[in-house]
Structure 1
């Protein structure tokens, strides 16, 4: 299962128990394809929104107990939803966030960014906990913190990538307060107060990740290991961003094979 395309899906398939691989693949296929509708190709906004509306209609069919019209994406998803009694709200939240990507390109303040994270990232963690049969409210809160942090980290990684799509996820009021302009992003200019602005964004994402990190030790077995690796991955990207805040313009920070080996070793021991 390829998991490198939909960045908000913190799943390493080789760590999954066999019984969960099919439902996770079905959920991932749904999320990836819907994200592609919002992000890929040159279709006009109205067409993208219509395709996402069709996804909502398929979820409605599943909710009514009807057979989905799309057997490739929604057939396996319907089976997983029935077998594991998966709630539909997280899927609808994801579609809401993807539709917002089509319509909204700027965020006035951090509260708006977090509202987006609540729908674009947090549902993934909640779905995974549901599949593992974990409904502890504290664990859900920890998961939300981790997933939102990972989304913020991805925004920082992709500042230049997102700008080319005419999207800026950095809070507009914070950019203005530090006199960081969109022209700097367009020009790949990390001078002036860029490092200060990035430092604040990095620290906030780090604190949010740390707030959820206890979940990695509280969950036992493979899900705990998987989550610890995911958290360490976020921490590694944050360290790279901190070391060179301008790297988003010339050397987008990614996890290397060496990083993965170190992360797995630390997660195990």
Structure 2
């Protein structure tokens, strides 16, 4: 570690996320780099998704953002457009050797989102969607494991499973929001198996008069089962992480699983309404997180 003083902590989160960010469970030493990673990802996501800019303008801004990442990684001064992001991030990259590739993968996913939304294009199958998750979600988990010094292949694979599951859960939770905006994450192959085509979903988007057919409900149920299976595959990682990190991940796993419960409780119809977590879920999440700990000790 150098003797340089870190720049001010990156801005606190203001958006809902599935991922923990510099919470009280995180060791104080790691809060600045985690906050810097979050600010980087959140700002790039806002560039890709917020405001009134068109696709071309968004893509150009992300190219500039990628150039600033390269500058930060190389020790050069980034442009002044996002100093609140790249000041803390450059420091974190130096002090903690954060891999540039993982951060660049996030930007690649944001670019893909813009292009697919622009073209109203979806995903051919689950493999293609998982490749998107590999870049949109898995880098977050791997960056956190890097900060905790966890590098073994089994832990990385379990982290990828949890992060991909969280991304899929977000997709199936947000169908009522994404479909009207031209975002299509339901794989075409899965749709075909259930006798559906991408265009069918326009008929029962929010405010439409046609209720989702049973085939669409069955499709979402199958996607929920897929996401739950991935989460269960990665959940043993909570027993491999030390102290606060393990507790943090317990709540992440249980939060994602609780959203799946709520999707199922509303009949897997997320075309009409978006299920969310509330204060009333806190006690249940804490009990389930504690139960995971007890099972690991048994």
Q: Which range, TM-score by smaller chain?
A: over 0.9
Partner in structure 1 of residue 233 of structure 2: 211
1:1-269 matched pairs, under 5 angstroms:
2-3=12-13, 5=15, 7-11=17-21, 13-70=23-80, 71-105=83-117, 106-180=122-196, 181-186=200-205, 187=208, 189-269=211-291
Describe the shift of the 1:153–1:2 C-alpha distance in structure 2 as closer, same or farther (beyond 3 A). farther
Q: Distance in 1 between matches of 2:225 and 2:254?
A: 15
Q: Distance in 1 between matches of 2:181 and 2:79?
A: 31
Task: Render the CA deviation track for 1:86-136: whole Å, top value 9, x for unaligned.
Answer: 110111000000000100141111111101000000000001011111111
Contact 1:52 1:95 in 2 (8 A): yes
Q: Return the TM-score normalized by structure 1.
A: 0.94
Aligned length: 269
Contact 2:12 2:35 in 1 (8 A): no
Describe the shift of the 1:216–1:254 C-alpha distance in structure 2 as closer, same or farther (beyond 3 A). same
Contact 1:109 1:172 in 2 (8 A): yes
Partner in structure 1 of residue 3 of structure 2: none
Structure 1 stretches of 5 or more lacking a match?
A: none
Describe the shift of the 1:185–1:140 C-alpha distance in structure 2 as closer, same or farther (beyond 3 A). farther
Describe the shift of the 1:185–1:14 C-alpha distance in structure 2 as closer, same or farther (beyond 3 A). farther
* Range moving further from structure 2, 209-218 or 193-202: 193-202
Q: Distance in 2 between matches of 1:30 and 1:245?
A: 36
Question: Hey, which bits of structure 1, 4+ residues long, moved more than 3 A?
Answer: 1-4
* Range moving further from structure 2, 69-78 or 27-36: 69-78
* Range moving further from structure 2, 203-212 or 251-260: 251-260
Q: Distance in 2 between matches of 1:122 and 1:45?
A: 25
Describe the shift of the 1:217–1:185 C-alpha distance in structure 2 as closer, same or farther (beyond 3 A). farther
C-alpha RMSD of matched pairs (Å)? 1.7
Q: Return the TM-score normalized by structure 2.
A: 0.85
Contact 1:3 1:12 in 2 (8 A): no
